Amino acid sequence: MTLEEQTIYKIRQLPDNLIKQVHDFVDYLIIEENHDDELVNLWEQFSTPSDNIEIEISDFFLTDEQ
C-alpha cells in the first residue's frame, strides 16, 4: 500500500468534523507549498491563539451549509 493509499485509508476512518480539519490543513499545505507568503502569513495570523479573542480558526472556513 502506498503512502497516499495509507493516508486516504486513515482519513476515511475519521469522523466528519476531523475530516474537515484535515481538509483545511491540506489547503494550508498547498498554500505553503506554492510559496504564497502573503496567504501563509494570513493563515498564521488567524490560526495563532490570542488572549484577546475567543474564536476558532474553523470560524473562517466555509461549511457545506454556507
Q: Are 22 and 11 in contact (CB under 8 A)?
A: yes
Q: Are 48 and 56 in contact (CB under 8 A)?
A: no
**Domain locations along the chain:** 14-45
Q: What is the pLDDT of residues 8-65, one digit of tens each?
A: 999 999 999 899 999 988 888 887 777 767 776 776 776 665 555 555 666 666 666 5
What is the Cα Rg of the chain in Å?
Answer: 14
Q: Within 10 Å of residue 28's Cβ, how many Cβ atoms?
A: 15
Q: What is the pTM of this model?
A: 0.50
Q: Are 40 and 32 in contact (CB under 8 A)?
A: yes
49 vs 57: CA distance, rounded Å? 9
